[in-house]
Amino acid sequence: MKNRLLMFAGVLAMVAVLGKFYAIPLYAQAKAALVQDRDSPGRNFYQEVESCYLVTSPCVIAFATVPAGERLIIQQVSTLSTMPTATGPADVELRGASGSGVFQFIPVVAAPFNFGGEFQFTAHAPVLASYDVGQVPNVDVFSPTGSSFTVVASISGYTVAIP
């Protein structure tokens, strides 16, 4: 009986020593597994491309409505405008639906090569804009001429879950 008691005490002492040295690293691993960055831009990447074809000024490109439970963070806006004359777009803007909300103005530059007698202009800029549930991001392109033109626009960023 005395041997069993001593053996049990030895096992308890060994468990206590092992617990002292291994409990903290095991706890840290378990804690790390439970914590996630669910709103990371890499996990929730967002990109959408829309266009308007042969319109007169303004070309209003409406993107998808932000769904329930999310917030859209836009970080980049790009456009390619194809104009019938060498006069480029007067203005490219990122804004909310019906002209409300965020205004970001994107600089326009002439594309280096034009094809087929058309003139192309690009706009690209980093932005920081936030759209909440039910809001609609728009890219608006304004032309000083009355001629028809075509625009392809892209927005990119990420979404954040709203609890």
pLDDT in tens, 52-107: 998 887 889 999 999 999 999 999 999 998 888 888 788 888 887 666 666 788 88
106 Cβ neighbours under 8 A, 6+ residues apart: 77, 79, 92, 93, 94, 123, 124, 125, 127
Residue 109 and residue 29 in contact, taking contact as beta carbons nearer than 8 Å: no
The amino acid at residue 161 is A
Number of C-beta neighbours around residue 42 at 10 A: 7
Is 137 or 100 the better-scoring residue by pLDDT? 137
Q: Nearest to residue 58, comparing CAs of 129, 151, 137?
A: 151
The one-letter amino acid code at 64 reads A
The per-residue pLDDT for 102 is 66
Strand partners, 14: none
- Token couple for 128: 């920081």
Would the pLDDT of 155 be above 90?
A: yes
With a threshold of 0.95, does the pTM exceed it? no
Instruction: State the average pLDDT for the chain.
Output: 80
Pairwise CA distance, residues 161 & 103, whole Å? 23
Domain 45-161 coded CATH 2.60.120: yes
Q: What does the alpha-carbon distance between residue 68 and residue 24 come to, in Å, rounded to a whole number?
A: 40
